Structure 1
Amino acid sequence: MSLFWRIFVLNAAVLIAATVLLLVGPVTVSTPVVLTEAMILSAGLVAMLVANAILLRVGLAPLHRLTRAMTTIDLLRPEPRPEVAGHAGIADLFTAFNTMLDRLETERATSNARALSAQESERHRIAQELHDEVGQTLTAVLLELKRVGDQVPEPLRADVRQVQEITRGSLDEIRRIARRLRPGVLEELGLVSALKALASEVSAHAGFAVRRTFDPALPDIGHDGELVLYRVAQEGLTNVARHASAHNVDVTVRAAHDGGIDLLIRDDGVGVNGAAEGAGIRGMRERALLVGAKLTLRTVQEGGTELSLSVPPLGSRP
């Protein structure tokens, strides 16, 4: 039975019941209407309206639940889906809404995959240009400064050496940026070596200690899975350096029971404290969805923040 006919039948049932009561009951209507009759009819009308409201509330309750789910659901975290409830038209609405979420999730994952693939290609290009163009130019400048420093008078050599150190520092910074844009060590030496290098680099620049715990044997999660895990670790450690005011960070990478890999980053900083998610965290969630990974972020009881990422094995990805 459709929603229209369900509401019609409910209202018709209430009106028929009221009519039957008037026909078979002792109540009659005089002309003019006396006070007792008016009170009885008013009470009957109120009872009819209350009964109608209760029946409609019960019949349309699933719609209120669906409306609440539609206004509160986060497309980056669409689980759990609203359970199909009600009859006929209402159940069809639940099914259509869940189907729409499935389609949106698939289309978003496809779109994000293309966007992030283009982003990685652009990172690769910029890193290559920084290394080949800017890096080689600064290297040539260093060699020229060394040649000039050997020829200038002694009073000026200290100034030339200072310029050399500034240029060398700039060259090191450009190389560091290029490595962050394109983690060549991930392709050349693997995930564990890339994460170790990342942790050491962030620790040296941010000033906090990083304790690393890696399983000796990790399952193969494919290039996309490793790249997502590396980028999430990179963004997570960057967030700790920027916002956490932490002194110690634990980075744990271990094999999961389902054949995937779990990443855990925990610091002793100030915690999330109800702060709204920024572009960095939403970017991590979008990356996680590309490989069907689950990302959670919470403030731990002892203080600090815990970021966890569970990357599923290749065979169970969407």
Structure 2
Amino acid sequence: MGGPVSLFWRIFSLNAAVLTVAALVLLFAPVTVSTTARMTEAVIIFAGTIATLIANAALLRVGLRPLARVTRVMTTIDLLRPGTRLAAEGPGEISALMHAFNTMLERLEHERASSAGRALAAQEDERHRIAQELHDEIGQTLTAVLLDLKRVADSSPGPVRDQLRQAQESTRNSLDEIRRIARRLRPGVLEELGLASALRALAIEFTTAGLTVRRQVASDLPALGKDVELVVYRVAQEGLTNAARHSGAHQVELSLQGQADGVRLCVRDDGRGIGAATEGAGLRGMRERALLIGATLTVEPAPGGGTAVSLHIPTAAQA
């Protein structure tokens, strides 16, 4: 048997078949054309041309339909939502094209995951470095300033002492804020006490006068790897940050529960919902982190209003 027919020869043969049929009709049909074409003859030729074009267009559409599917997938593909593949079907070059397209997608998804992993690892290292400098350099400097202010205030007259006390209070608030930023950059409680304690501290941190965070962490969770715990923590942190800054929510539920097929983290708020807003850098960052551990992130409207951010870690990815 011969090899597969190329796309060129398929289109050529379709066009040749249509034109051959048209020529045969003109040759053997009992129709003639005068030196000066009559209206009837002109109508017949015009109708034959239109029929030829319609048949040609229909045959080409059938032949090129697989390419249209490839085009649709190429215009809608998102590497942060992997798994989209084309069924490698069709004759000859069409099947080969779809197979090559699927291979290209696999390679791009692998390279995207690898580059994102390196970028996020570098980001975590940089966060640790900045947190350490905030704690060691600026934190110690502000602590020394507090001690100096206290010593000067103790030996100052009343009006000046009151002003120094106010300066002490402002410096102490700044020191607390720097420590809070350092904790968010480098979650030491996650490394020292584990994921459950880190999520508890995170819920307390985001519980403010206008926002209440309710936490539910199962006590029988399977052991998770360090990278998995860090991804879970960062997704929870970003989800709470979005709820506090953008949703206008009053209550947020933070839950981490075990399931038959893995572990699920859910951050659900009662705010205005995500609506038709496009995903920003925060959500895309969460998707990239989820891809690193083979997890799936979904963002959808919550029952009763608000937004639900869900991270599902399958059993195979928990280590």
TM-score when normalising by structure 2: 0.93
- Specify the alignment match of 2:44 in structure 1: 40
Aligned equivalents of 1:186 and 1:301: distance in 2? 31
Question: Partner residue of 2:247?
Answer: 244
Give the structure 1 partner of residue 127 of structure 2.
123
Deviates more, 1:142-151 or 1:303-312: 142-151
- Counterpart of 1:304 (choices 284, 303, 306) is 306
User: What's 2:114 paired with?
Assistant: 110
Aligned to 1:187: 191
Which segments of structure 1 move beyond 6 Å, counting only runs of 4 or more?
A: none
Q: Which deviates more, 98-107 or 119-128?
A: 98-107
Q: Deviations over 1:82-112 (max 9, x none)?
A: 3334322122222222211111111111111
Indicate whether 1:262 and 2:260 are aligned: no
Deviations 1:237-279, CA, capped at 9 Å, x for gaps: 0011101111111111011322x32111111111112112111
Q: Which amino acid aligns with 1:112?
A: A
Q: For residues 217 and 316 of structure 1, what CA distance do their matches in structure 2 show?
A: 14
Q: Which of these residues, 228, 232, 235, is aligned with residue 229 of structure 1?
A: 232
2:161 aligned residue: 157
Q: Deviations over 1:276-314 (max 9, x none)?
A: 211111111111111121111122351111111112334
Residue among 7, 22, 26 paired with 1:22: 26
| 3-state secondary structure, aligned to 2:207 | helix
**Root-mean-square deviation over aligned CA pairs:** 1.8
Instruction: Say which is worse superposed, 38-47 or 270-279, in terms of deviation.
Output: 38-47
Aligned 8 A contact 2:293 2:317 in 1: no
- Structure 1 residue 10 displacement after superposition: 0.9
2:182 corresponds in structure 1 to 178
Q: TM-score, normalised by structure 1?
A: 0.93
> Aligned-pair distance for 1:316?
8.2
Match of 1:101 among 105, 118, 127: 105
Question: 1:20-48 deviations in whole A, cap 9, x for unaligned?
Answer: 33344323344444433332222222111
Q: How many matched pairs? A: 315
Contact kept in structure 1, 2:190 and 2:197, CA below 8 Å: yes
Unaligned regions of 5+ residues in structure 1, if any? none
* Residue of structure 1 in register with 2:283 after alignment: 281
Structure 2: how far apart are the matches of 1:117 and 1:314? 22
Runs of at least 5 residues in structure 2 that lack an aligned partner in the other structure: none
1:102 to 1:19, Cα distance in 2 relative to 1, 3 A? same
